[in-house]
């Protein structure tokens, strides 16, 4: 099992910045990718950003140019630098890890979520 610990959420004014962090720990053979998803009330969960262990990234169109995902593979930690935040970025942000267990199976793990609120 993998535990994901998130931090960095909070309340920020439009145009402001936040940096989310997520550290994975537990019994893991390997983590192929980590990323961030978000869910706003009444909306579907959507991918925000994802990064593979090799450094390949993927962003939602709505955050391109504003958000940057990065990683520290040695610490199994992923970061999301969020700049120029907009009210529509308000959501619960969930950390995700795609991992291969020691049994050779693929698993998806999720953090509990951290609230990001962008409001004046």
Structure confidence at residue 73 (pLDDT)? 79
What is the spatial distance between Cα 81 and Cα 60, in angstroms, rounded to a whole number? 14
Question: In which band, very low, low, confident or very high, does the pLDDT at 81 lie, cut at 50, 70 and 90?
Answer: very high
Q: Across the chain, what does the average pLDDT equal?
A: 94
Segment 27-42 shows an average pLDDT of 89
For residues 107 and 88, what is the distance between their CA atoms, to the nearest angstrom?
Answer: 30
């Amino acid at each position: 099992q993998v535990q994901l610990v998130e931090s960095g959420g909070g309340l920020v004014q439009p145009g402001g910045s936040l940096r989310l962090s997520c550290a994975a720990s537990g019994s893991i053979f390997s983590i192929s990718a980590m990323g961030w998803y978000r869910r706003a009330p009444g909306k579907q969960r959507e991918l925000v950003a994802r990064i593979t262990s090799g450094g390949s990234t993927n962003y939602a169109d709505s955050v391109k140019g504003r958000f940057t995902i990065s990683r520290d593979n040695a610490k199994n930690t992923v970061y999301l630098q969020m700049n120029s935040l907009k009210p529509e970025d308000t959501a619960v942000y969930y950390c995700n890890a795609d991992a291969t267990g020691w049994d050779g199976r693929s698993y998806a793990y999720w953090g509990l979520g951290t609230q990001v609120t962008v409001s004046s």
